[in-house]
Chain A
């Protein structure tokens, strides 16, 4: 192969706009890319002219690398790229190879988009387009040129050192590199919503860890496994590892069951969860809590409920799903790969203890009166003490 060389071209958008901080964001993106690709072996990652090039270890298929990078926030798109010397014959051969592959994949129309930043290359962009297009039409049966809506766009960049060719771009998730916006803590249940909320917050550059409230043996061990599997999916968007805190919630659940009025049980339960989450967030240096609440979806998510629940914490609470419908959330969950896990039939503590008629407008005075019966601080302290950290690894 000698001259021929496969690599990945990573395009990023938004961080380009971040002015003075641009360097900081780019460095974070490079770091996250390296972490994500680690399972494939040692990769060299370099920045150049507002793009990132990834040199894959020998024997690694560019498509595998592209698939992993499709989950790195900050990445707008990823293209497998062939790099060839500044020679027309080499460029034609590489272009042909890429189009043959696209034709095998069912493509019928194409166009060539050449860009020549190296003016010493003998052909202009227009000439390259014509020369390459004609070459490909001669050699590959069944292809035709469509300059307006081609199924495949062969991009050719003539740089000072090499020529770079690419015929496919896989979309990335966009957003900001995880870690560039500080830390957050997600309240993760086994449901459909909270993993999506975590994902959306991570997309804005927040390094989100999760806390899960485990009520075993009131709930099943399988409910806990479900949360671990959700964290495994989220880990794929966080460079391969995800910190999941499992908090012991059983004695709180029992205390609430014993002593609080049925219609207020969910409100009180959520208040306890928020307190514990804030305690952990402060120990971890997290600046925000994140929940999967969507306004009006269930009784605990009316504005009245949200207010009464929210008031027990000082940290800001991000609710990225606030304005989304169930259908939108479901679609997003399917897209990011958490949906099939979330719909496994094991109950989590939210579904099991739902009162027959939960209060949709929990009265603050009644809530306070009910809590007066409980040793709140002790319970929170116990839950925090019995919280365990699990480092969950992504599937490759």
Chain B
């Protein structure tokens, strides 16, 4: 029997069949270029604008503040690089956290090489920053603050609202406040304008949309220099022929997520997974907390290699990952290191990430397989 249980939804998700359906229509029937003057172009433009409205409604912002991108990495680069470029005359300092996605961390490192100074805020054992640390790190020349909403490896939530409050209270020049919401969109309610967030980025394939499309919310009046030059698409901020099928698919996926993703139900499944695993493997450690993101559970299995666990689980039809998919070829996770985990817990860490499609039966079976594989490998490789 080969029953596949996909618990790697933070790496990417299955495209929802209804998303594929609407995209298919864009590819083969309504394939016009939104910039074309004729009927086909106008139709494509309408589809694109409708997609933009779906995103805007979800965020509670104006459609003119939503830009389509190619995904999270591009959105983060646009905000960080473009935001710094627009503040070059007075800014020379950025603040971010030690647990960001590589698309933020590496970009910050690149900006450091260009002469910017970056403060990387530390996190506690749960992976959360202390807003007071942020307050203390702020300077007159702080041009940008970038903090992720949900950590992609452990599911910790950052105090975005509290950071927004601190920044709102500042006199003088205000830094651009960016939130990487890639792991939050479609799962948590987001109110960037209420929270004082200036820019927010997301990626379609994390919530059953297609790969290669994402969006950026940029509050009216906030300046970001475009990275590319070209046509006037996306108000010149992101030139290039629009990815209409992608945007339409993303919007449909977002609507479906709002209907189908029940955060409380998913959190209950996550808790069931964690408790079943810990019951069968009492020495395993959950690197998370109950109020964290509902769909991510990071668990360390001391004494074994996480990668070996991944391959054994895959053989049994259970798909998980050792860290974030983009960086899991590194030996250990920068997130878990920043949280202060011991070496043994770093080596044996696995990330389970659920979706609206995950069932209780999936979770029970996966937990049983995990416990069994862990026992076998621990017996083989456990040292001490």
A262 to chain B, nearest CB (A): 9
B312: Cβ under 8 A from any A Cβ: yes
Alpha-carbon distance A347/B306, docked complex (angstroms): 13
B88: Cβ under 8 A from any A Cβ: no
Residues of A contacting B312 in the complex (Cβ-Cβ under 8 angstroms): 217-218
B165: Cβ under 8 A from any A Cβ: no
B316 to chain A, nearest CB (A): 9
User: CB < 8 Å: which of A219, A257, A345 contacts B380?
Assistant: A257
Q: Which residue of B lies closest to A256 (CB)?
A: B380
Residues of B contacting A221 in the complex (Cβ-Cβ under 8 angstroms): 311
A168 to chain B, nearest CB (A): 43
User: CB < 8 Å: which of B311, B314, B329, B381 contacts A219?
Assistant: B311
Cβ B308 vs Cβ A217 within 8 A = yes
Residues of A contacting B380 in the complex (Cβ-Cβ under 8 angstroms): 254, 257-258
Alpha-carbon distance A254/B381, docked complex (angstroms): 9
B307: Cβ under 8 A from any A Cβ: yes
User: CB < 8 Å: which of A220, A257, A345 contacts B311?
Assistant: A220
Q: Which of A218, A221, A345 has the most CB of B within 10 A?
A: A218
B315: Cβ under 8 A from any A Cβ: yes
**Interface size of A in residues (CB-CB distance below 8 Å):** 12
- Across the A-B interface, how many residue pairs have beta carbons closer than 8 Å? 24
Residues of A contacting B379 in the complex (Cβ-Cβ under 8 angstroms): 258
A216: Cβ under 8 A from any B Cβ: yes
B332 to chain A, nearest CB (A): 13
A261 to chain B, nearest CB (A): 14
B323 to chain A, nearest CB (A): 14
**CB proximity to A under 8 Å, residues B284-335:** 305, 307-308, 311-312, 314-315, 329
Q: Which residue of B lies closest to A220 (CB)?
A: B311
Cβ B311 vs Cβ A217 within 8 A = yes
User: CB < 8 Å: which of B314, B329, B381 contacts A217?
Assistant: B314
Residues of B contacting A257 in the complex (Cβ-Cβ under 8 angstroms): 380-381
A120 to chain B, nearest CB (A): 69
B207 to chain A, nearest CB (A): 28
Cβ A218 vs Cβ B311 within 8 A = yes
Cβ B329 vs Cβ A218 within 8 A = no
Alpha-carbon distance A345/B315, docked complex (angstroms): 21
Cβ B307 vs Cβ A220 within 8 A = yes
Q: Which residue of A lies closest to B312 (CB)?
A: A217
Cβ B311 vs Cβ A216 within 8 A = yes
B327 to chain A, nearest CB (A): 12
A127 to chain B, nearest CB (A): 64
Cβ A345 vs Cβ B314 within 8 A = no
The 0/1 profile, CB within 8 Å of B marked 1, for residues 347-389 of chain A is 1000010000000000000000000000000000000000000
Alpha-carbon distance A33/B168, docked complex (angstroms): 76
Residues of B contacting A345 in the complex (Cβ-Cβ under 8 angstroms): 329
Residues of A contacting B381 in the complex (Cβ-Cβ under 8 angstroms): 257
Q: Which residue of A lies closest to B311 (CB)?
A: A217
B373 to chain A, nearest CB (A): 9
Residues of B contacting A254 in the complex (Cβ-Cβ under 8 angstroms): 380
Residues of A contacting B308 in the complex (Cβ-Cβ under 8 angstroms): 217-219, 352
B307 to chain A, nearest CB (A): 7
B310 to chain A, nearest CB (A): 8
**CB proximity to B under 8 Å, residues A313-361:** 345, 347, 352
The 0/1 profile, CB within 8 Å of B marked 1, for residues 91-117 of chain A is 000000000000000000000000000
7 further contact pairs, Cβ within 8 A, besides A217-B315, A352-B308: A216-B315, A218-B308, A218-B312, A220-B307, A258-B380, A345-B329, A347-B307
Q: Can you report 6 residue pairs joining A to B where beta carbons are below 8 Å apart?
A: A217-B312, A220-B311, A254-B380, A257-B381, A258-B379, A352-B308
By a beta-carbon cutoff of 8 Å, the part of chain B in contact with chain A is 305, 307-308, 311-312, 314-315, 329, 379-381
By a beta-carbon cutoff of 8 Å, the part of chain A in contact with chain B is 216-221, 254, 257-258, 345, 347, 352
7 nearest CB pairs, A to B: A217-B311, A257-B380, A217-B315, A217-B312, A345-B329, A218-B308, A254-B380
